[in-house]
Homo-oligomer: A and B are copies of this chain.
Amino acid sequence: MKATIITIGDEILIGQIVDTNSVSIAKKLNAIGITISEKLSIGDTREAIVSTIDRALKATDVLVITGGLGPTKDDITKHTLAQIFNSELVYNEAEGEHVKSLLARRGIEFTDLNRGQAMLPKCCTVLHNAHGTAPGMWFERDGKVIVSLPGVPFEMEHLMDDEVIPRLKAHFELKAIVHRTLITRGIPESILAARIAEWEDALPSHLHLAYLPAPNVVRLRLSAYDVEGAATEEEITAQFDTLRSIIGDNIVGYEGSSVEQQIHEILTARGEKLAVAESCTGGTIAAKFTAMAGASAYFMAGVVSYSNEAKHDILGVSWDSLNAYGAVSEQVAREMAEGVRRVSKADYAIATTGIAGPGGGSKEKPVGTVWMAVATPTKTIAIMRNSGTDRSQIISRASAYTIEMLYNELKNL
């Protein structure tokens, strides 16, 4: 079963927003066995919408469309769909009342434009949008399904989960899609490919291997389409088990669990506590941990000690070290980690101090220089790395490296 995802909106074509709707829809469709043949973004023009839907309907069985359902003149998706399906717009009493009460709760007047949002093509099944003013629409033609959803991510998510996915499962007989991704570390892509060539060549034809390289990491994904789910999952697990005998030392584990998630699980299970002192990473590491539900069980405190005063006053870094070695130094990184561990009464602490740029670099300490430290109950270790010249990359790489340092220490204890 194949689908096309169409996102409508000039804001996508001019790069004003990042389209995450299609990512979410793709995952949800994959999870029930529907393969995405193509994702498209088009502008708010009648011609583009008509020709794209026409073409997509020839190639695939399911079309999921988002965007263009707002109350204003630039939103034309609904009118264009009514035209395509040759169906008049009629006022839907229930949806009208819903919009009215939703606006009343927010203290907003119900205008003609809002009334227009409850005008819906007669031929469609209305998908009730409990969280917004634009209902979704479900159309059928020759056994194929066309779904139109609002572009507001939160509303789209609910409509997919509550309305679209259950209806698709009822409408089609679906087989499974299985993806599983193994993370390897420390082997460059080309070397890895040579080392596992024999294993790769022996894969059965229904298992598709993909290489997904990133700095220091290559993810290997095996995918199978239109299969029996449970049996294929076992088969893929067995294939990856074979791979462990070839490159076992370089395998980190399956995707789905980031390094911070693994630390989250270890600390939660052990009842141990964590604290973070950040200079150049500026709160990014703390935000990664606290984004996970349940972090309060182990995350005691983070200190973004951006100024030297904060390093000294809050963390107890000595003025001697700051003056003798500078804020970006092994000594200060160590004292930051030890200091935040002490003031927050944590078992483990990590610290970063570096030059995120673009200013502040020197010949000895160029932009990108970052000292990272981990303090445990028995020792403190520190490492320096240079993470390039781009501020956001320096922050994200230094965060990732420091979290990995902590993980390596936790694993060995």
> Is A242 close to B, CB under 8 A?
no
Contact with B along A340-364 (1 / 0, CB 8 A): 0001110000000000111110000
Contact with B along A303-326 (1 / 0, CB 8 A): 111110110011000000000000
CB-based nearest B residue for A41? B39
Output the least CB separation between A34 and chain B (Å): 11
**What's the number of copies of this chain in the assembled complex?**
2
Give the complex CA separation of A189 and B374 in angstroms: 50
Interface segment out of the listed A17-25, A140-148, A376-384: A17-25
> Is A286 close to B, CB under 8 A?
yes
A227 CB contacts on chain B under 8 angstroms: none
CB-based nearest B residue for A19? B19
Output the least CB separation between A217 and chain B (Å): 13
- CB within 8 Å for A306 and B302 given contacts A11-B212, A283-B286: yes
Output the least CB separation between A200 and chain B (Å): 7
Give the complex CA separation of A293 and B213 in angstroms: 29
- In contact, B290 and A301 (Cβ under 8 angstroms): no
- In contact, B307 and A301 (Cβ under 8 angstroms): yes
- CB within 8 Å for A302 and B302 given contacts A40-B40, A111-B194, A188-B106: yes
> Is A262 close to B, CB under 8 A?
no
Output the least CB separation between A150 and chain B (Å): 10
> Is A154 close to B, CB under 8 A?
yes
- CB within 8 Å for A301 and B302 given contacts A40-B38, A194-B113: no
Give the complex CA separation of A146 and B234 in angstroms: 43
- In contact, A193 and B113 (Cβ under 8 angstroms): yes
Interface segment out of the listed A67-75, A167-175, A243-251: A67-75
Kindly state the interface size class of chain A when it binds its partner.
35 or more
A17 CB contacts on chain B under 8 angstroms: 23, 212
CB-based nearest B residue for A285? B283
Which of A41, A43, A133, A223 has the most chain B CB within a 10 Å cutoff? A41
- In contact, A70 and B391 (Cβ under 8 angstroms): no
A189 CB contacts on chain B under 8 angstroms: 70-72
- In contact, A42 and B48 (Cβ under 8 angstroms): no
Output the least CB separation between A59 and chain B (Å): 9
Give the complex CA separation of A297 and B209 in angstroms: 49
- In contact, B109 and A191 (Cβ under 8 angstroms): yes
Output the least CB separation between A165 and chain B (Å): 14
Which of B40, B48, B283, B289 is the one whose CB lies under 8 Å from A287? Answer: B283
- CB within 8 Å for A190 and B108 given contacts A313-B343, A344-B309: yes
Give the complex CA separation of A200 and B299 in angstroms: 52
| 7 sampled A-B residue pairs with Cβ under 8 A | A11-B212, A14-B36, A70-B211, A111-B190, A283-B287, A287-B287, A293-B357
Given contacts A11-B210, A286-B304, A296-B306, 13 further A-B contacts (CB under 8 A): A13-B35, A14-B179, A14-B223, A15-B30, A16-B212, A39-B41, A72-B211, A74-B211, A283-B284, A283-B287, A290-B306, A294-B359, A300-B309
| Nearest 3 A/B pairs, CB to CB | A282-B290, A283-B286, A302-B304
